[in-house]
Chains A and B, each alone.
Chain A
Amino acid sequence: MSLTVSYTSREEIEVHKFSWVVSIGIPLLAVFLQAFLPQKRLRFMEIIDLPLLVTIFFAVSRRRPIPGLITGALIGTLQDALMGARYELRGLINLNGISKTIIGYLASSVGVKLDVDNPGSRFLMTFGFYLVHQFVYTVIDLKLVVVGAHAPPSLTHLVLGAFSNGLLAVALFAVLDRFKLRS
């Protein structure tokens, strides 16, 4: 007999759906902004990972691991495809694809057990997932393929990035909640 620990009520375990326009348009917009905004004058935006936030949002909203990980894989791969040339890496590098696949899987699994509609839990969840994402990314980059596409982030950068993305997630998720289709 398995014991399932959940911090959500039965009503809160609700699987949300999105229209296909939102399902495709929001990730594309996030990847596009991530790829091209920081190249303009908004250099400080580099610390924000919009595709990661969108991955977390869709994963916790759908609450199903397989769609969650596939969403993360597609968003991450698209992000790599757009950003590969920027870092002068030849061809498609799947660093973001792998790390966002894992985040998508974890976020959808967590979405079943936590109240992910609460702003506080959204902040903490995004804070944690940002750190996990950076860890996975750096390990793959420096240990698995030894590419060194990015320098390992400093602790200050990590904390600042996790904090900024957590705050932005609270605001962004509130906006994206409007696109949910109640089933």
Chain B
Amino acid sequence: MESFFSRYKNALVLMGVLFVQVIILASNVERDNAGAANHGRTSLVRVWTINTISPLERGLVSTGHFFRDTWRNYVDLHDVRRQNTQLQSEVDRLRLEQARWKEDISESQRLKHLLDFKERYVGRTVAAQVIGTTGSEQSRVVTIDKGAQAGLKSDMAVITPDGIVGKVKEVFRYSSHVLLITDHDSGAGVVLEKSRLRGILHGTGPIDLVVNHIMADEKVDPGEQVVTSGGDGIYPRGLPVGTVISSAPDPNPDNASFLVIRIKPAADLSRLEDLLVVTEIAEQSPVAPDTSARVRAADILSERLPSVPKGKTENPDETAKNKPATGTGKPAGTTAATTPGTTVPATKPKPQVSKGGNPVNALTSGRPVSPEGGMPAVKTQGQKKKAGLDGPAKDSPAKKAPAVEPKPPAEAPPQ
């Protein structure tokens, strides 16, 4: 070893001096931060360091995820069957609830359309993974594995399905820094969901958030949900922010007329892994919904009731064979009633059935989803009639020809 250093002493000294000079050079040169609108320039040595460390961090995180996912997805499955049953019940309950909400959303959409409101919502997102953190008492920043090459720019909102996380602070080629909402420098326009009070959200450093600029004479109850107001130009409107923990007058005498509302973030900021970066916020006037697409809770319930097997009736030829000669020439499902007392809505939506025989949630079945995230459009004439928006009820085919689903006696399921 000694002979190596003595033999290549000159070359080693040259490399050492050059290395020091390159470091000095890099620490003095600043490069434009990719996509930075107002964050200025970044030291070149910092860019090099991050570009060197990011792939290592990404590799470590990916390896950890591989082993963890392998364990979770292939080994640790002892509770899956029970959870599946619970989730299926939850899906059924939510479908009923969804139908009820859709009515409210439709009404809201119509009113907004009348008032020519502009809506801003999440247009496009890029999925990213957290590969590192530089969090401290002074700054709360995480590093994600997507950068300028994925189209990220500064000040883009970063969210999870649970709620907002923060905004993109600095963008590098293959990674970015995200400033969490709990950072002292973070801010967001928010609105309290029930009282509709508007305030400004600030980070406090630890895990909590604070909303201020709300007058002290307002009443804010713990447990109330807080969502983004969309007024800050960064976060789209209506994203969950957190839950009110407490509210009290500001102890600072200068701001005694305002409340200090402590918020627990909706997203678990201490265990961030997969994030969504909002790369595009769409803005458009709401379109009055097609009310003919309504689904009533009763229809959802009726789907779950035992009915005639669909396999036979979906084949027109088979249907024609089983169908009595009525002479109307109408397709199956719109034929006149052949058995008194067995009439059902003419075109009742057929539920998609999973392998286990349970209805499949529309959101996961590949069916188109309405813009407001509600149920897919399942057109039923009976619903049009109920909505009263499709003309007089007398024009309804269902009214003209009350229909039944063919019910072959031999294949009727046990009731």
Residues of A within 8 A of B (CB): 65-66, 69-70, 73, 77, 90-95, 97-98, 101-102, 105, 109, 140, 144-147
Contact = CB atoms under 8 A, between A and B. Distances in A.
A94 B17 contact: no
A1 to B, nearest CB: 14
A73 B22 CA distance: 12
A69 B24 CA distance: 17
Interface in B217-258: none
A93 B21 CA distance: 9
Given A93-B29, A94-B28, 15 more contacts: A66-B10, A69-B14, A73-B17, A77-B21, A77-B24, A90-B28, A92-B24, A93-B25, A97-B24, A97-B25, A98-B25, A101-B18, A105-B14, A140-B25, A145-B44
Contacts of A145: 25-26, 29, 44
A91 B41 CA distance: 14
Nearest to A92: B28
20 contacts: A65-B13, A65-B14, A66-B9, A66-B13, A69-B13, A70-B17, A90-B28, A90-B30, A92-B24, A93-B25, A93-B29, A94-B22, A97-B24, A98-B22, A98-B25, A105-B10, A105-B14, A109-B10, A145-B25, A145-B26
B110 to A, nearest CB: 56
Given A92-B24, A94-B21, A94-B24, A101 B29 contact: no
A97 B31 CA distance: 20
A95 B44 CA distance: 14
A91 B28 CA distance: 6
Interface in B30-72: 30-31, 44
Nearest to B10: A65
A153 B213 CA distance: 60
A112 to B, nearest CB: 11
Nearest 3 A/B pairs, CB to CB: A94-B25, A65-B10, A91-B28
A101 B28 contact: no
| Of B21, B24, B26, most A-chain CB atoms within 10 Å | B21
A60 to B, nearest CB: 15
Nearest to A94: B25
Contact of B21 (A97, A105, A109, A147): A97
Given A92-B24, A94-B24, A98-B22, A69 B17 contact: yes
A41 B216 CA distance: 72
Contacts of A65: 10, 13-14
A65 to B, nearest CB: 4
Interface string B328-342: 000000000000000
A95 B18 CA distance: 11
A91 B10 CA distance: 30
A101 B14 contact: yes
